[in-house]
Structure 1
Amino acid sequence: MKTGFPENFLWGGAMASSQAEGGWDQGGKGLDTQDLRYFDPAWTREERAKKENRRMSDAKFRAALTTDDTVHYPFRHGIDFYHRWREDLDLFQELGIKVLRTSLCWARIYPNGDDPTPNEEGLRFYCDLFDECHRRGIKVFATMLHYNIPVNLVQKYGGWKSRKTVECYLRYTRTLFERLGDRVDYWLPFNEFNAGKFNPYNGVCLVEDQESDYQNAIFQCLHNQFIANALTVKQGHEILPGSKIGGMIARFTTYPATCKPDDVMQMILDDQYSNWFYLDVMARGHYPAYMDRYFAQQGIHIQMEPGDADILRENTIAFVSFSYYFSQVSTTDQGWEKTSGNLIMANKNPYLETSEWGWQKDPVGLRVTLNQVYDRYQLPVFIAENGLGAKDVVEEDGSIHDPYRIDYLKAHVEQMKEAVKDGVDLIGYTMWGFIDLVSCGSMEMSKRYGVIYVDQDDAGHGTLARSRKDSFYWYQRCIRSNGETLD
């Protein structure tokens, strides 16, 4: 029986270009869809949680195209990683991470998405970043698309509704393989694939009130992304034989609320429609039979082109990855209490504690998920995101005591170790937002995930100085001991 993490286990950290880089109008970068998301620092917690304030509308989309405002468009400033990446790598190296998961910005490399040639300055930024990672002994886990596509593709082609966007994406990914291939250790074509269903603006770049049949448009976009994903796998294996290309979902772990058979059946359906569908297509190479009934009941009609089935079947992923933040329960009881979660509102589990933002903390659920995913696909597993969003207080002496984050991470690492003992082929763990970022869901800095603090408020004001939290030293010890020292 395995007793601990393998010697080559990849401890790391994860971030996204749109939440970290800034430099939204520098280096030849074009406007992307995350640059258009609006946030008001004066909003109360209740106003920030309102769906109408967090969703994209046609009016918001058009207004954002005409302004240079960075205060109300926080993804435009990020944490200025674009200019500060070298000093940040100093901290990453000190922390001891073995792998950096970050995304590339499509609009930094192809500003309009359909440009005939890439922006060399944008490519040079990632070449320099990845070269320096390797020089410091840090592997690179590159997400090719973490939500943000060039705005021009939305305006001209309707975003992912069009196969033209697939064509443009494949030009972009070919460029990445050809120009950055020897600098990347693991590839991920799409972040949280099921986000297209649960947050369609982020996931598939749809603006709801621009669509006459919103639900059908969502699944048409998802199909086009499935094709893009499979063709990217094919591309990678042709250009870089032996390259490691995986797939990822946001994992919504769920339990039946009761042992009532109806609740158990609801759990199976929730798992199929919210989780397994997306990985089944990427890992097994075809649409699962259970989706036939779902599409019929929902009136979904996907336009597929000749050869699509072959493309999916012949180009499956080499590893499975997921984000894991919380779990929920499944029930047919429509009056069940709700709480927040990553991308969705969830049915609350009365046995779990809840974070400041309403996400339920369930370390054992991570072990459950790891066993379920590995048993279903028998592929290596990578935990691409996991972490706790919380408010941090900087003391007068500059120290930041975050025992709540240490407790969260420790409990999850313990369950990861149990899953390894269970026989799960777990190859890596990249904690989310290991350096404080602009939160993707709530669009604020106040919700901090990092073990590295960034001095910036919700309006983008601050020195941007980086400092170490108590959790920095905890994670450093964890990495050095390969998960054995957790106190």
Structure 2
Amino acid sequence: MEVYIGVLLLQIIFLPHSISCDGNLSELVFPSNFLFGTASSAYQYEGGYLSDGKGLNNWDAYSHQPGNLIIDGSNGDIAVDHYHRYLEDVGLMHSLGVNSYRFSISWARILPKGRFGEINEAGIEFYNNLIDALLIKGIQPFVTLTHFDFPQELEDRYGSWMSPQSQEDFAYFADVCFKSFGDRVKYWATFNEPDYQVKFGYLTGFFTILFFDFVTEATVQGIDFTGYLTKLTYRFLEPIIFGRYPPEMRNILGSILPEFTATEKQKLNKGVDFIGVNHYTSYYVQDCMFSVCEPGLGTSKTEGFWAQSSEKNGTPIGEPGELVWQNAYPQGLDKILTYLKDKYHNIPMFITENGYGNMNKADSTTAELLHDAKRAEYIAAYLGALSTAIRNFLAEHSKVQYQQQPKDANNSPFYY
């Protein structure tokens, strides 16, 4: 279960307090109602893939196909058996002291045939029980509606996301979830990493390899040169928040991009309550618009002609980890939060994913697994970077407040 960190700091100021932590953390500033939590996705955790009326989803179907691209040949039939052992898992989370848990709902467990069949009441009961168990322990549920899985029925009928019919199905699914769980769930996310689903699920087909081998890479990554963040964040955040695609995309794609109608722009106005940031690592980037780059991620027209690398002049951007894509570069977290705060006018943010990945080692002993020093170092360093972002924001806000105070001791308690 990967650790994630909820951030409620960039729109409303909370009084900071210091907490003592083990390891390298001693005096970190976090708001009193700051959320620390864990995160999971349904297919990777639940198991029970045909239990109690659940229908097949796309990963159930794919993982059972002979000759698929899953590196170790595994599947999610059992996973960590969260479906049957959720009470134990909630107890473990409570023992860790976390106060939030992000999980996704298996669409096929709720609606085995989408809108073309009945609601599976056993699926509704499972999530009701999970949510209630979390709340009893003081753990806030964060629900993601789709984390790369959808009913295979929809794939068979009309090609799922490739068809406009998917809009009607998703709206129906969301409505069922809101009505069933909305009285207790305050925080909802629609799609997990939609750009990765588009690119790796439909453009390259490489997504299937990534999904089973290690924790999926981040949607929004702290890139060393933030100007290129346009290629990663603008294409989703800009249309949703401002009702337009950024000029950089229009210059490259031209008429390929759709225009928003006045009605659509009105619907998008204030349509985002928070930004979810999945952050694990950072990269150097190269502009491929006017220079020659090796073929790879980002170098196509539809992606914006950019390339990324974990090193520059042979030097890694941070300490390399066991996963080839994950170098520890905690200051990247500070950079991405600050960038998004400034760019999108203090919309609240949650760090919905962050954590340290390991390769599976069949011969590992229990003692070796428990001596998880690298993960502890990684999380400590990233918490430190997050604390820096909070400190800088509080200092900036305090300065602005001071500058706005009237310079009359008789009228202001903040006279200096």
Settle same-fold status: TM greater than 0.5. yes
- Does the alignment pair 1:401 with 2:368? no
| 1:304-319 paired onto structure 2 within 5 Å | 307-312=263-268, 314=269, 316-319=271-274
Paired residue type of 1:271: L
Q: Secondary structure of the equivalent of 1:321?
A: strand
Task: Note the C-alpha offset of 1:281.
Answer: 2.0
- Residue of structure 2 in register with 1:53 after alignment: 69
* TM-score, normalization by structure 1: 0.63
- Does the alignment pair 1:19 with 2:44? yes
Paired residue type of 1:180: F
Is the 8 Å Cα contact of residues 11 and 97 (structure 1) preserved in structure 2? yes
Task: Note the C-alpha offset of 1:347.
Answer: 1.0
Which of 414, 422, 444 does residue 392 from structure 2 map onto?
A: 422
Is the 8 Å Cα contact of residues 243 and 260 (structure 2) preserved in structure 1? no
Instruction: Describe the shift of the 1:186–1:396 C-alpha distance in structure 2 as closer, same or farther (beyond 3 A).
Output: closer
Paired residue type of 1:326: T
Is the 8 Å Cα contact of residues 2 and 423 (structure 1) preserved in structure 2? no
Query: What CA distance in whole angstroms lies between the structure 1 residues aligned with 2:367 and 2:253?
Result: 58
Instruction: Describe the shift of the 1:397–1:2 C-alpha distance in structure 2 as closer, same or farther (beyond 3 A).
Output: closer
Is the 8 Å Cα contact of residues 37 and 73 (structure 1) preserved in structure 2? no
| 1:465-476 paired onto structure 2 within 5 Å | none
What CA deviation, in whole Å up to 9, does each residue of 1:215-266 have, x standing for no partner? xxxxxxxxxxxxxxxxxxxxxxxxxxxxxxxxxx71122224xxxxxxxxxx
Task: Note the C-alpha offset of 1:272.
Answer: 1.2
Query: What CA distance in whole angstroms lies between the structure 1 residues aligned with 2:110 and 2:368?
Result: 38
Instruction: Describe the shift of the 1:183–1:329 C-alpha distance in structure 2 as closer, same or farther (beyond 3 A).
Output: same
- Residue of structure 1 in register with 2:221 after alignment: 252
| 1:157-172 paired onto structure 2 within 5 Å | 157-172=158-173
Task: Note the C-alpha offset of 1:303.
Answer: 8.9
Is the 8 Å Cα contact of residues 12 and 100 (structure 1) preserved in structure 2? yes
Instruction: Describe the shift of the 1:11–1:345 C-alpha distance in structure 2 as closer, same or farther (beyond 3 A).
Output: farther
Instruction: Describe the shift of the 1:406–1:317 C-alpha distance in structure 2 as closer, same or farther (beyond 3 A).
Output: same
Task: Note the C-alpha offset of 1:424.
Answer: 7.2
Query: What CA distance in whole angstroms lies between the structure 2 residues aligned with 1:37 and 1:374?
Result: 39
Q: Secondary structure of the equivalent of 2:284?
A: strand
What CA deviation, in whole Å up to 9, does each residue of 1:277-322 have, x standing for no partner? 21122233333333222322xx73559789444433x351111111
Query: What CA distance in whole angstroms lies between the structure 1 residues aligned with 2:70 and 2:263?
Result: 38
Instruction: Describe the shift of the 1:322–1:310 C-alpha distance in structure 2 as closer, same or farther (beyond 3 A).
Output: same
Q: Secondary structure of the equivalent of 1:182?
A: coil
- Does the alignment pair 1:115 with 2:73? no
Query: What CA distance in whole angstroms lies between the structure 2 residues aligned with 1:117 and 1:305?
Result: 35
Query: What CA distance in whole angstroms lies between the structure 1 residues aligned with 2:394 and 2:168?
Result: 37
- Residue of structure 2 in register with 1:288 after alignment: 246
Task: Note the C-alpha offset of 1:353.
Answer: 1.7
- Residue of structure 1 in register with 2:103 after alignment: 102
- Residue of structure 2 in register with 1:353 after alignment: 319
Q: Unaligned stretches of 5+ in structure 1? A: 44-51, 56-70, 210-248, 257-266, 426-487
Q: Secondary structure of the equivalent of 2:116?
A: coil
Is the 8 Å Cα contact of residues 36 and 73 (structure 1) preserved in structure 2? no
Question: Greater CA radius of gyration, 1 or 2?
Answer: 2
Instruction: Describe the shift of the 1:419–1:306 C-alpha distance in structure 2 as closer, same or farther (beyond 3 A).
Output: closer
Task: Note the C-alpha offset of 1:30.
Answer: 1.1
- Residue of structure 2 in register with 1:468 after alignment: none
- Residue of structure 1 in register with 2:414 after alignment: none
Query: What CA distance in whole angstroms lies between the structure 2 residues aligned with 1:121 and 1:85?
Result: 15
- Residue of structure 2 in register with 1:380 after alignment: 348
Q: Secondary structure of the equivalent of 1:128?
A: helix
Query: What CA distance in whole angstroms lies between the structure 1 residues aligned with 2:364 and 2:146?
Result: 34
Query: What CA distance in whole angstroms lies between the structure 2 residues aligned with 1:400 and 1:363?
Result: 23
Instruction: Describe the shift of the 1:30–1:114 C-alpha distance in structure 2 as closer, same or farther (beyond 3 A).
Output: same
Q: Secondary structure of the equivalent of 1:253?
A: coil
Task: Note the C-alpha offset of 1:185.
Answer: 2.3
Is the 8 Å Cα contact of residues 286 and 308 (structure 2) preserved in structure 1? no
- Residue of structure 2 in register with 1:36 after alignment: 61
Instruction: Describe the shift of the 1:156–1:330 C-alpha distance in structure 2 as closer, same or farther (beyond 3 A).
Output: same
Task: Note the C-alpha offset of 1:271.
Answer: 1.6
Query: What CA distance in whole angstroms lies between the structure 2 residues aligned with 1:27 and 1:96?
Result: 32
- Does the alignment pair 1:184 with 2:153? no
Is the 8 Å Cα contact of residues 234 and 245 (structure 2) preserved in structure 1? no
Query: What CA distance in whole angstroms lies between the structure 1 residues aligned with 2:221 and 2:80?
Result: 29
Q: Secondary structure of the equivalent of 1:133?
A: helix
Query: What CA distance in whole angstroms lies between the structure 1 residues aligned with 2:58 and 2:147?
Result: 11
Query: What CA distance in whole angstroms lies between the structure 2 residues aligned with 1:6 and 1:376?
Result: 23
- Residue of structure 2 in register with 1:7 after alignment: 32
Is the 8 Å Cα contact of residues 104 and 145 (structure 2) preserved in structure 1? yes
What CA deviation, in whole Å up to 9, does each residue of 1:433-456 have, x standing for no partner? xxxxxxxxxxxxxxxxxxxxxxxx
Q: Secondary structure of the equivalent of 1:421?
A: helix
What CA deviation, in whole Å up to 9, does each residue of 1:166-215 have, x standing for no partner? 111111111111111112121111111222343235xxxx7869xxxxxx
Query: What CA distance in whole angstroms lies between the structure 2 residues aligned with 1:21 and 1:410?
Result: 29
The percentage of counterpart residues that share the same residue type is: 28
* TM-score, normalization by structure 2: 0.73
Q: Unaligned stretches of 5+ in structure 2? A: 1-14, 18-28, 207-217, 298-305, 396-416
Query: What CA distance in whole angstroms lies between the structure 2 residues aligned with 1:352 and 1:337?
Result: 24
Is the 8 Å Cα contact of residues 336 and 348 (structure 1) preserved in structure 2? no
Q: Secondary structure of the equivalent of 2:223?
A: strand
Instruction: Describe the shift of the 1:424–1:374 C-alpha distance in structure 2 as closer, same or farther (beyond 3 A).
Output: farther
Instruction: Describe the shift of the 1:181–1:13 C-alpha distance in structure 2 as closer, same or farther (beyond 3 A).
Output: same
- Residue of structure 2 in register with 1:89 after alignment: 90
- Does the alignment pair 1:331 with 2:298? no
What CA deviation, in whole Å up to 9, does each residue of 1:17-51 have, x standing for no partner? 110001111121111122234499xx9xxxxxxxx
